[in-house]
């Protein structure tokens, strides 16, 4: 079996599972946020149950519309607080938490070998630590909160092998954009994406989280990495529970094996209105922009802020550009403060926000007007994703985003950092 099949088999009563089979898998973590939790709570209450299957495995995070942008979002937060208090479930509150997909690995809640489901499509982020993690609908969440099980079809697995070492300023965001640009937004539809190769081995954990996060942008059910020494070092100081590490068998079967030589690969940019509309930054044509977002569950971790600050240090945000920096969690914020990274952003003329998903999905803290263009380190650039349907979003890594904020146009970091 491959990695996804090993984990799923361990969470069923079967010794082996195969693609296309339907299984009832035991879940280790059930996650929801302030968009998906309200529906799940209402559906759970319709079941007439008084208690969730295990409050220690139920996690709710206030991150999308938080800090509450209006009365409706405040009422949602109130509902979640009341439910978690009654159920004794985990609630991560504004000011004490952060963006869910940055927060849960950081807090040691998601661990290798687990099955994790979340009411958010980017739950696949946790595959970076060797978990089978996937997004589900709110009614599935309600059922899992009641039973501790998830009924699902075992996905086929596509193995992606990355040979060589990419160039300077190139990270996980560029590897996954390059991949989506090749296979398309449905190239891994309902498949587990298993990432491997020497370029992956060299990638830091923050870069792996970025790649796993965007597996869903290729249609993936999950994005998984083997647990190596880097993963163990990241997990051991954080883990709240014991965990199991699974390895793919040497004779594991894959639906496809796709190989890339990424030697010298430069930064990539996804043009509107698809994560698959990818070009090298050198071919961006110096497109003028109005806004830059650095943050999100894709690129809001400490390594991301470090890279952006390296580019922006001693420079100023262009007069035409609004630059908004959003640390992915309170811990990331504190670490960036201690390293004086936040100071670099503020001195450059950027606005630094408390952790929130706000601008990524057009919720708040950076919504775009008609005709405006934004370079963003987020994961989606669909029509109207960040505001007006006639605005444009260009997806890039933090170095490109920071350089573009300084130049006022989409630009290679080397043109800013001499």
pLDDT of residue 324: 98
Distance CA 118, CA 120 (A): 5
Distance CA 107, CA 33 (A): 16
251, HSE (Cβ side, Cα atoms, 13 Å): 0
Domain 3-260 has CATH 3.30.499.10: yes
Judged on CB neighbours under 10 Å (0-12, 13-18, 19+), 314 is exposed
Helix (H) or strand (E) holding 29: strand 29-33
pLDDT of residue 286: 85
CATH class, range 268-415: alpha beta
Per-10-residue mean pLDDT for the chain, 418 residues long?
97 95 97 95 92 96 91 94 96 92 96 97 97 96 96 97 95 98 96 97 97 97 97 93 94 97 96 96 92 97 98 97 97 97 98 92 92 97 94 98 98 92
- The ranges assigned to domains in the chain are 3-260, 268-415
Instruction: Establish whether domains 3-260 and 268-415 are of one fold.
Output: yes
- Encoding tokens for residue 212? 């796993």
How big is the chain by its Cα radius of gyration, in Å?
20
pLDDT of residue 291: 98
Work out the number of other CB atoms within 10 angstroms of the CB of residue 418: 4
Query: What is the β-pairing status of strands 22-26 and 351-352?
Result: unpaired
């Amino acid at each position: 079996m491959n990695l996804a099949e090993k984990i799923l088999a361990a969470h069923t009563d079967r010794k082996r599972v195969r693609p296309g089979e339907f299984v009832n898998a035991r879940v280790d973590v059930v996650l929801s946020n302030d968009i998906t939790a309200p529906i799940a709570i209402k559906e759970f209450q319709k079941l007439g149950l008084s208690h969730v299957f295990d409050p220690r495995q139920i996690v709710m995070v206030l991150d999308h519309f938080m800090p509450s942008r209006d009365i409706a979002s405040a009422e949602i937060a109130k509902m979640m607080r009341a439910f978690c208090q009654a159920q004794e479930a985990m609630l991560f509150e504004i000011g004490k938490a952060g963006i869910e997909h940055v927060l849960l690995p950081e807090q040691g809640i998601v661990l290798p070998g687990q099955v994790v489901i979340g009411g958010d499509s980017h739950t696949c982020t946790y595959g970076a630590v060797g978990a089978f993690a996937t997004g589900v609908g709110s009614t599935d969440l309600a059922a899992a909160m009641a039973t501790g099980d998830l009924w699902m079809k075992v996905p086929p697995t596509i193995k992606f092998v990355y040979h060589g070492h990419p160039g300077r300023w190139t990270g996980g965001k560029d590897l996954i954009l390059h991949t989506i640009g090749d296979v398309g937004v449905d190239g891994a539809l309902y498949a587990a994406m298993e990432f491997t190769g020497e370029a992956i081995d060299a990638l830091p954990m923050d870069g792996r989280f970025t790649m796993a996060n965007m597996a869903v942008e290729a249609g993936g059910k999950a994005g998984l990495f083997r647990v190596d020494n880097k993963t163990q070092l990241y997990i051991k100081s954080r883990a709240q529970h014991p965990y199991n590490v699974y390895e793919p068998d040497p004779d594991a079967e894959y639906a496809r094996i796709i190989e890339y030589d990424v030697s010298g690969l430069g930064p990539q940019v996804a043009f509107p209105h698809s994560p698959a509309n990818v070009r090298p930054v050198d071919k961006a044509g110096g497109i003028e922009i109005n806004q830059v977002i650095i943050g999100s569950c894709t690129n809001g971790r400490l390594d991301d802020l470090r890279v952006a600050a390296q580019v922006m240090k001693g420079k100023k945000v262009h007069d035409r550009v609004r630059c908004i920096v959003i640390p992915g969690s309170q811990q990331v914020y504190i670490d960036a403060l201690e390293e004086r990274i936040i100071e670099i952003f503020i001195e450059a003329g950027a606005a630094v926000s408390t952790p929130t998903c706000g601008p990524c999905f057009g919720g708040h803290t950076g919504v775009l007007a008609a005709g405006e263009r934004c370079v963003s380190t987020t994961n989606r650039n669909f029509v109207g994703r960040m505001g007006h349907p006639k605005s444009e979003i260009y997806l890039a890594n933090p170095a490109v985003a920071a350089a573009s904020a300084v130049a006022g146009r989409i630009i290679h970091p080397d043109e800013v950092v001499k």
